[in-house]
Amino acid sequence: MSSPARNPTLAVIFLGILAGLQLIDPAVANTAIVEAGKSLNMTGSILALAASISTLALAATVLPMGLLADRLGRRKVLAASLILAIIGDVIVAISPITAGYLAGRAIAGVGVGAALAASFAYIRFVAPPGKVAASLGLWNLGMVAFFIAGSLVGGQLATIDWRLAMLLVPVLAAVCLVLVPIVLPAMPKVSGARPDYLGMFVIALAMISFLMGISQASSGIRTAGFLIPTIAGLILFAAYYWIERKVANPIFPPTLFASGIFAAAVVSGVAWNFAQASVQLQTSNFWQYVQGFTPGEVAIGQVAMMVSFAGAGVIVGRIMKPGRRSITLMGIGFIGLSGGLLLLAFVVAGTPYWIMAIMLFIFGVGLAFVSVPQSALFVAEAPADSFGPVTSFRTTVGQIGYAMGFAVSAALVNSFGANNLIGRLHEAGVPSSQLGQGLDDVRLFMANGQDPSGQLATEAIADLGPAYAAGFNWAMGISGIAVGMLGVITVLLLVIGLKQDKERIPTA
């Protein structure tokens, strides 16, 4: 049976573009948030909430949106998600108050998250027969290429006006909305029993609580702000699993977690998103605080990683085969991820960009060799009667890994970098009684880019670059080891899954 799409290749690339909106939206918002915070008088916890609320909204709603897509029709829900993204970011762009900004970012988060999940689930439907893996590679190429272009444009718009930058995603989403019924065929609805509303509510609370806790890791893992929501989230995850085992109509079969292949897809999804978030955040900060890059130069600097990620994804999709070749590709991918991180652990303040670009290129290849097979595993493991929720769970897994990467890498940099900074201030003759003020001056500078006044502030900020470089080295090294360990676990789970069913590792 041929693909229902009139032009399968065009449909796959277009789905990649739709997925790219979920990457562009937070990237532009993060670039613009400093100026937005100043404009709307956001400070402290409100600014932190503004930076994370779209992610929380996405994580809480992506599984229900996947279920809705099954029941109502995926193309309808995809179009509705684009409308939500447009409405949300337009509210942000025109809002004169913080409450409007927060509401808009939450609505946009739901929209772009649903668009990502829906576009991913569409792949198996529009891909030519026997070409699902190759189509996933092409989907990845479209997503990353669109993200590179969109983030560069968004960065330039943000230098003009943050409100103008926040209109980029609505414009792109509006164009995509017009093209959806033209490029994509209608995907059949999936009928089913009454939805498990309790399970959806519990998993939403679990995601919100866990991500809120993880986001506070940089403030210390012994603080109440980290411990209480993180532990509560883990308890709610356990409650969700218990509920799903008892109900007759779970969101998706909990027996999937007993599959070595599905477990490998989950672990590898957390791992590569953790690694990507760590590198994106910390190289950005390294270039700005240590080497003096502008935000625009930072965006260009990360192109090396994204280009190799996009290009290698196409290659991986074409060479994937059932069985042990998938295990081999995953193994190569984790060598690239862990190796790239460990190489970055040796950069110093004077390391030229071209050397870091080589490291990032290696890392980007590793991303592709892990993410494309991981995507294929999710597509193949998703049962027909719960296809939407299972494929949407890939986004849930990704959000957990991404949030952990941001939080853990920041905590490591803060810990090792702050200790190095304290030592440098001691050497400069700063008395112990003033060290706290020096650290506060640095945090203020890193938060808004404004130099605090006074000799102590000047001394502290002058030492920030070398101190941050030391923290960066430790963060990359520890992250590289952690990702390598997750890679070993993933490969072992795939071997177990292959023994469970040698024919279930997919590529097409």
pLDDT at 181: 92
Check whether residue 477 and residue 448 sit in a common domain. no
pLDDT at 453: 53
Question: Phi and psi (nearest 5°) for 39?
Answer: -65, -40
Rounded to 10 degrees, what is the CA torsion of 256, 260, 266, 270? Answer: 160
pLDDT at 218: 67
- Smallest CA-to-CA distance from 344 within 471, 462, 218 is with 471
Contacts of 436 (CB under 8 A, 6+ apart): none
pLDDT at 324: 63
- Give the amino acid at 19: A
Give yes or no for a contact between 141 and 310, defined as CB atoms under 8 angstroms apart: yes
Task: Return the number of other C-beta atoms located less than 10 Å from residue 243's C-beta.
Answer: 18
Task: Return the number of other C-beta atoms located less than 10 Å from residue 214's C-beta.
Answer: 22
Check whether residue 43 and residue 99 sit in a common domain. yes
pLDDT at 423: 46
Instruction: Please write the tens of the pLDDT for every residue from 36-65.
Output: 888 888 876 677 778 788 888 888 888 888
CATH number, residue 154: 1.20.1250.20
Q: How far apart (Å, rounded) are the C-alpha atoms in residues 385 and 358? A: 45
Sign, CA torsion 193/194/198/204: positive
Check whether residue 92 and residue 32 sit in a common domain. yes
Give yes or no for a contact between 126 and 4, defined as CB atoms under 8 angstroms apart: yes
Give yes or no for a contact between 158 and 31, defined as CB atoms under 8 angstroms apart: yes
Contacts of 15 (CB under 8 A, 6+ apart): 119, 120, 122, 123, 126, 139, 142, 184
Check whether residue 139 and residue 41 sit in a common domain. yes
CA distances from 253 to 157, 189, 384, 385 (A): 45, 19, 11, 10
Report H helices in 321-352. 324-344
Contacts of 10 (CB under 8 A, 6+ apart): 183
Buried b (16+ CB within 10 A) or exposed e, 159-184: eeebbebbbbbbebbeebbeebeebb
> Is 64 inside any structural domain?
yes
> Is 484 inside any structural domain?
yes
Give the end of a domain, one of 205, 221, 250.
Answer: 250
Give the end of a domain, one of 168, 188, 208.
Answer: 188
Check whether residue 156 and residue 206 sit in a common domain. no
Residue tagged 């965006």 (tokens): 299
Rounded to 10 degrees, what is the CA torsion of 392, 267, 385, 72? Answer: 0
Check whether residue 387 and residue 501 sit in a common domain. yes
**How many Cα atoms are found within 13 Å in the side-chain-facing hemisphere of 241?**
9
Give yes or no for a contact between 405 and 283, defined as CB atoms under 8 angstroms apart: no
Instruction: Please write the tens of the pLDDT for every residue from 395-433.
Output: 888 888 988 888 888 778 777 655 444 444 444 444 444
- Smallest CA-to-CA distance from 198 within 232, 242, 228, 231 is with 242
Burial class, 86, CB count within 10 angstroms (exposed 0-12 / middle 13-18 / buried 19+): buried
> Is 69 inside any structural domain?
yes
Report H helices in 428-463. 435-448, 455-462
Check whether residue 346 and residue 451 sit in a common domain. no
Residue tagged 């509006």 (tokens): 174
pLDDT at 433: 44
- Give the amino acid at 491: V
Sign, CA torsion 409/410/411/416: positive
Check whether residue 17 and residue 138 sit in a common domain. yes
Check whether residue 326 and residue 452 sit in a common domain. no
Check whether residue 108 and residue 235 sit in a common domain. no
> Is 156 inside any structural domain?
yes
Direct distance between the N- and C-terminal alpha carbons of the chain, in angstroms, rounded to an integer? 14
> Is 175 inside any structural domain?
yes
Strand ranges for 6-151 from DSSP E: none
DSSP one-letter code for 225: H
> Is 412 inside any structural domain?
no
Burial class, 317, CB count within 10 angstroms (exposed 0-12 / middle 13-18 / buried 19+): buried
Helices 435-448/387-427 angle, 10° precision = 140
Q: How many domains would you assign to the chain? A: 4
Check whether residue 103 and residue 146 sit in a common domain. yes
pLDDT at 355: 93
- Smallest CA-to-CA distance from 34 within 410, 239, 288 is with 288
Give the end of a domain, one of 230, 250, 270.
Answer: 250
Q: Residue 424: which domain range? A: 417-468
Q: What is the residue-wise DSSP string for 152-172?
A: HHHHHHHHH-HHHHTTHHHHH
Q: How far apart (Å, rounded) are the C-alpha atoms in residues 138 and 422? A: 48
With a cut of 50, which residues of the chain have pLDDT below it?
419-439, 441-442, 449, 456-463, 504-508
Report H helices in 345-463. 353-381, 387-427, 435-448, 455-462
Give yes or no for a contact between 367 and 337, defined as CB atoms under 8 angstroms apart: yes
Task: Return the number of other C-beta atoms located less than 10 Å from residue 487's C-beta.
Answer: 26
Give yes or no for a contact between 120 and 140, defined as CB atoms under 8 angstroms apart: no
> Is 411 inside any structural domain?
no
Q: How far apart (Å, rounded) are the C-alpha atoms in residues 330 and 24? A: 27
> Is 449 inside any structural domain?
yes
Check whether residue 139 and residue 115 sit in a common domain. yes
pLDDT at 502: 60
